Amino acid sequence: MVGDSLIAGLLLLIDAAILVLARFEPGSSPGPWYVALPIDLLLVLPLVFRRRHPVVVAYLVLLIGIPHAALELGLASLIAGAISVYSVVVYSGRKQGAIYLLASLLSSGVQTYVQFHDQWMINSIILVLVYAFCWALGEFAGARRAYQAELEARLHLLETERDQASRIAVAEERSRIARELHDVVAHAVSVMVVQADGASYAIRTDPTLAERAARTISDTGRGALAELRRLLDVLRNEDANGEPRVPQPGTEALGELAERIRAAGVPVRLELGDGLAELPTGVALGVYRIVQESLTNTLKHAGPGAAAEVRVSRRGDEVRVEVSDDGAGKARALVPGTDASSVSGGNGLIGMRERANVFGGTLDVGPNPGGGWRVRATLPTP
């Protein structure tokens, strides 16, 4: 509005200078100043608000410009009309601009013909050229404004997408860490509970066995605390330079896992195929967690006297994992078509399914016909 106020003031000064010069010109009879000044003010003051209300201001200028031009009070009516054409095209669009331009040309053409009949053609050509120049200038400025608005919208959209991507990444990382925490805590606590129960029964009859169970509880607890501390340290500060990072377990740690389960009282038969050492880190971690969760479920739910069998093999571009237990010899009825999606389960089953799906693999979970439980997973290894 400051710039538009300066334009309005400049037009007022131009008209005032024309009126002053006309008084000293021989044969000229300008109107009285107390008539010219209010008309000039009414003509130029709406220009201050031309950006906010372009159409209203344009028609006010057109209406007040008729007596201004009829009294020959200066050039403000022509300049203000041209500015109005530009403003309507830029701030209201081509449709409103075309309507206003047609009304302005019609009004100015009739007025020019009445006042300057001898020079009507020349004045009309000048008028058309001035309005055409203002229209072209308005088209250029309008295109620039539209381009800038589109750039701002795209930048806003990119910022929004970046924020959404950050939120999604944070949610995925939280979900991954939650799965890791569940696997660590569930496995460690299950082993510790079984060992504690065994120690409580053997503490009087077999102190050596009770001592070994207590040592297993201690080692399992320390390992779980160390792994939890590493995960929580990642959550607190990813750039911390404290304790060295320890790699996530993979297929090479399956033997140690089987030993822990055997120490907890469940015989485990482990078969590992060739080519597992070259697996990608993520796939190897997924295989380890699936086996860990399956053996933990065996430890918790299979009952005393149960045995487990783990087979991990690599064939072509996929890794096959099979974990089964005999359920202490308790037979089950056949359940055809059972998979992970149709078996109800807690967070452990959900975590196994997500680990398989994240690599585009499959997971089948269900009871064994001869008793026990079976988990089969296939993970692609491109």
Domain boundaries along the sequence of the chain: 2-115, 251-382
334 band by pLDDT with thresholds 50, 70 and 90 = very low
Instruction: Output the pLDDT for position 173.
Output: 66
pLDDT at residue 339, as a whole number: 45
pLDDT at 336: 47
Range scoring the smallest mean pLDDT among 63-72, 76-85, 125-134: 63-72
CA-CA distance, 198 to 196, in Å (whole number)?
5
Contact at 8 Å (CB) between 340 and 294?
no
Contact 273, 312 (CB under 8 A): yes
Q: What are the pLDDT digits (tens) for 271-304?
A: 998 888 888 877 888 888 899 888 888 888 877 7
In the CATH hierarchy, which top-level class contains the domain 251-382?
A: alpha beta
Q: Judge whether 182 and 348 are in contact, CB under 8 Å.
A: yes
pTM over 0.85: no
Side-chain-facing half-sphere of 45: CA atoms under 13 Å: 7
C-alpha closest to that of 324 among 370, 382, 278: 370
Query: Which residues does residue 325 pair with via DSSP β-bridges, in sequence order?
Result: 308
8 A C-beta contact, residue 324 and residue 290: no
Structure token digits, residue 139: 């088209």
Sign for the pseudo-dihedral over CA of 12, 16, 17, 19: positive
Nearest Cα neighbor of 316 from 220, 231, 380 is 380
CB 112 within 8 A of CB 120: yes
